């Protein structure tokens, strides 16, 4: 199931606009996050997704509202595209009570129960068994949801990856494993970490269907995810989809990037989904420059409003420190 780059927007002009709009929303939000980190407004670890936006946007637009989403600590974009309001994400990064997790989680732990967004997992590989369990619950209760689990290439070295892949395949569970292969687990290149760098070969060892898509091409990601999700939803078992992509920024804000050449980064930047896709649409006459600039302005305005919201948001009272360690009596 190898995918070729798509030359046209199959969903038409509005669909293309939505994809660009969401990629811009992630990019502008995260650029602002980096700035706010420098200003000391956001603390802790901050892992930016810049460069990889086509993966979350393409994949999540191909999934349904009823599906379960499990993500990693590099999940701002996934949360946003899933529908978590930017203001709520921003307030969470500020550590405010109006954040989606009331300031308990921060950048790495965004959750949203109503949108079936199960985090926000900062233990590499930790989300995979959860996705297996969510899918098991769906299968046992006769629901046809897909549990989509995002993780990076670093996770394939973890035992949790192999245990989860095997369980999902053994029990034929509706899990869509979405591997965002950005070729580095923190500072360790894939080839320095894996004896087998063709990640789909790992799925084959669990007799699991696998596919690859160009993670820099939002339409390719969308098409591949749509096909994969349809198959998983039809009860044909789990599927492993590798999205090859690249992180333009450092691993986290503490990373001096000693492990890769700037030339390599620049080479990948030429494939920036936020340049390539809009340029293609312009060349095809689907969208013009002004329309794209207008989408960018909307994203910038949303970011400004989110920051304003986060700045003004209240702090959780220290008296509530122990809240939600346990479920209060009377709650389900």
Partner 1 sequence: MKISYREAIRQALREALLGDARVFLMGEDVGRYGGTYAVSKGLLAEFGPERIRDTPLSELGFVGAGIGAALGGMRPIVEVMTVNFSLLALDQIVNSASLLRHMSGGQFSVPLVVRMATGAGRQLAAQHSHSLENWYAHIPGIRVLAPATVTDARGMLAPALADPDPVIIFEHAQLYNLEGELPDDWRCDISHAAVRRVGTQLSLITWGGSLPKALQAAAELAAAGIEVEVIDLRVLRPLDAETVYASVRKTHRALVVDEGWKSGSLAAEVVARIAEDCLYELDAPPRRLCTAEVPIPYARHLEEAALPQADRIVAAVREMLDV
Q: What's the rounded Cα separation, in Å, for the pair 230 and 37?
A: 40
139 Cβ contact list (under 8 Å, min separation 6) = 171, 173, 174
Distance CA 119, CA 210 (A): 24
* Closest CB to partner 1 among residues 84, 213: 84
Residue 84 sits in the site that holds partner 1 (CB under 8 A): no
Stretch that binds partner 1, among 38-46, 215-223, 295-303, 318-326 (CB under 8 A): 318-326
332 touching partner 1, by CB under 8 A: yes
- Of 16 and 156, the one with the shorter C-beta distance to partner 1 is 156
Instruction: Evaluate whether 101 touches 110 at the Cβ level (below 8 Å).
Output: yes
**Count of residues engaged in binding partner 1, rule: CB under 8 A:** 46
265 scored as a contact of partner 1 (CB under 8 A): no
What values do phi and psi take at 121, rounded to 5? -110, 120
Q: How far is the CB of 100 from partner 1 (least distance, A)?
A: 7
Question: Does residue 102 belong to the site contacting partner 1 (CB under 8 A)?
Answer: yes
At residue 200, φ and ψ (nearest 5 deg) are -70, -20
* Binding of residue 72 to partner 1 (CB under 8 A): no
Three-state SS at 39:
coil
Site for partner 1 contains 146 (CB under 8 A): no
Place of tokens 């992509």: 245
Site membership for partner 1, residue 113 (CB under 8 A):
yes
Q: Is residue 177 a contact point for partner 1 (CB under 8 A)?
A: no
Asked if residue 4 binds partner 1 (CB under 8 A), the reply is: no
Binds partner 1 (CB under 8 A): choice among 111, 177, 246, 268: 111
**What tokens appear for 252 in the block?**
């986290």
């Amino acid at each position: 199931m190898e995918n070729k780059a798509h030359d046209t927007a199959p969903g038409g002009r509005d669909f293309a606009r939505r994809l660009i709009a969401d990629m811009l929303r992630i990019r502008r939000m995260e650029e602002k996050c980096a700035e706010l980190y420098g200003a000391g407004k956001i603390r802790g670890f901050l892992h930016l997704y810049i460069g990889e936006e086509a993966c979350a946007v393409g994949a999540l637009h191909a999934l349904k509202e009823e599906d379960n989403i499990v993500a990693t600590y590099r999940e701002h974009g996934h949360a946003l595209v899933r529908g978590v309001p930017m203001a709520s994400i921003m307030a969470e990064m500020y550590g405010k009570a109006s954040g989606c997790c009331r300031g308990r989680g921060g950048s790495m732990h965004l959750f949203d129960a109503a949108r079936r967004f199960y985090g926000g997992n900062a233990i590499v590989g930790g989300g995979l068994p959860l996705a297996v369990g969510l899918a098991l619950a769906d299968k046992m209760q006769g629901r046809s949801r897909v549990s989509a689990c995002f993780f990076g290439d670093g996770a394939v070295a973890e035992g949790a990856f192999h245990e989860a892949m095997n369980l999902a395949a053994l029990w034929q569970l509706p899990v869509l494993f979405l591997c965002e292969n950005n070729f580095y687990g923190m500072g360790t290149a894939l080839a320095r970490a894996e004896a087998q760098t063709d990640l789909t070969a790992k799925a084959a060892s669990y007799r699991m269907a696998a596919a690859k898509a160009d993670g820099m091409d939002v339409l390719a990601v969308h098409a591949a995810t749509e096909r994969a999700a349809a198959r998983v939803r039809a009860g044909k078992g789990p599927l492993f989809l590798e999205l090859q992509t690249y992180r333009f920024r450092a691993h986290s804000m503490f990373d001096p990037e000693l492990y890769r050449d700037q030339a390599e980064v620049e080479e990948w930047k030429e494939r920036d989904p936020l340049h390539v896709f809009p340029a293609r649409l312009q060349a095809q006459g689907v969208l013009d420059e002004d329309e794209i600039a207008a989408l960018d302005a909307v994203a910038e305005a949303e970011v400004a409003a989110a920051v304003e919201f986060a700045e003004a948001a209240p702090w959780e009272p220290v008296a509530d420190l122990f809240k939600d360690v346990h479920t209060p009596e009377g709650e389900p």
